[in-house]
Structures are given as C-alpha cells and as structure tokens.
Amino acid sequence: MLYINCPHCGMRSQNEFSYGGDASVKRPELNKEVSDQEWDNFVYNRKSLRGKHLELWQHISGCRQWIKVERDTATHEIFRTFKADEEVA
C-alpha cells in the first residue's frame, strides 16, 4: 500500500485516497471552439507511461483536497506531491 504525503495532512496510507488519473491533462476552456481531435485527446486519449508520472489523487477520507503526485508507475516510488494550485516545475 502506497504511503502518500498529502501536502495538507502529511503522510497517509493509500486507502485514504482515491485515484484521479493523469494530472497533466488540461480541460479546454469553456465556450471555445474545440476540434474533435482535441476533445478526444482531452476525454479519452491517455498515455500509459512507464516511469515518472504526474497524477491526481483526492484525499477523500481526509481533507478532501485534490493533490498532484509525482510517482514512478513501475517502481511506485513517489518523488514529490503538490497542492492542487501548485505549479509543477
């Protein structure tokens, strides 16, 4: 079971969190013309990366904040975690 450093609460076990997918996906802006391809990429198309991956988790049984987690999908190593509004450098 992963041990995730919630930027708001500290180290917590994975069973307090819910996975939320790729954190690098940006929703197209509202009221903007979006091509089929662009929309498909936003809704469906994901890379299944092996290695470092920035992903979303929600601390549902804790502070309920969505956070970003930089994790290696192969080794499960977690490098850094960020608040929802933190820019990932």
Partner 1 sequence: MTQAFRIENSGLINRDKKLSFKFNGKTYFGYEGDTLASALLANGVHLVGRSFKYHRPRGFFGAGVDEPYAVVQLYRNGETEPNIKATEQELFEGLEAKSVNCWPSVNFDIGAINNFLKIFLPAGFYYKTFMWPKSFWYRIYEPFIRKAAGLGVASTKHDKERYEHKYEYCDLLIAGSGPSGLAGAYAAAKNGAKVILAEDKPRFGGSLLTSDVNIGNQSGKDWAEGIVAELKTMPNVVVKNRSQIFGYYDHNMLVMSEKVSDHLPVTKKYHPNKRLWYIRAKEVLISSGSIERPIVFGNNDTPGVMLSSAAKEYLKVYGVLVGRKPLVFTNNDSGYETAIEFKKHGVDPVLLDSRKNPESEIIDEAKNLGINIKNSYVVVAAQGYKKVKSADIASISEDKKQLGKIENIQCDCICVSGFWTPTIHLASQSGNKTKFKEEIDAFVPGQSKQNEITLGAASGEFSLEETLKTSFTAGSELSKKITENDNKIAIPNVVEKKSSQHDKFWCVPLPKGKNYKRFLDFQNDVAVSDVEIALREGYRSIEHVKRYTTLGMATDQGKTSNLNGLQLVSEIENKVVPAVGHTTFRPPYTPVSIGAIVGREVGKHSKPTRNSPMHSWHEKNNAVFVDAGVWLRPRYYKRGNENLFEGSKREAKNVRTNVGVCDVTTLGKIDIKGPDAAELLNRVYTNAWLKLPVGKARYGVMLREDGIVMDDGTTTRISENHYHMTTTTAQAANVLSHLEYYLQLVWPELNVNVVSTTEQWAGAAIAGPKSRDLLQKLFPNSDVSNEGLPFMGYMEGDLFGTKARIFRISFSGELAYEVNVESNFGNFMWEKIMEVGEEFNIQPYGTEALSTLRIEMGHVAGSELDGRTIPFDNALEGLVSKKKDFIGKRSLQRSAFIAEDRQRIVGVVPLDKQTSIPEGSHLVKDDKAPLPNPKLGHISASCWSVEYDNPFSLAILKDGKNMIGQKLFAMSPLKNKVIPVEIVSSHYVDPKGERVRS
Q: Which residues bind partner 1 (CB under 8 A)?
A: 1-3, 13, 18, 20, 27-28, 30-31, 34, 39, 42-44, 56, 58, 60, 64-66, 75-76, 78, 84-85
Q: Give me the DSSP letters along 4-68.
A: EEETTTEEEEGGG-EEEEETT--PPPTT----HHHHHHHHT-----SSEEEEEEE-TTTT--EEE
Nearer to partner 1, 52 or 75 (CB): 75
Nearer to partner 1, 50 or 75 (CB): 75
What's the min distance (Å) between Cβ of 65 and partner 1?
7
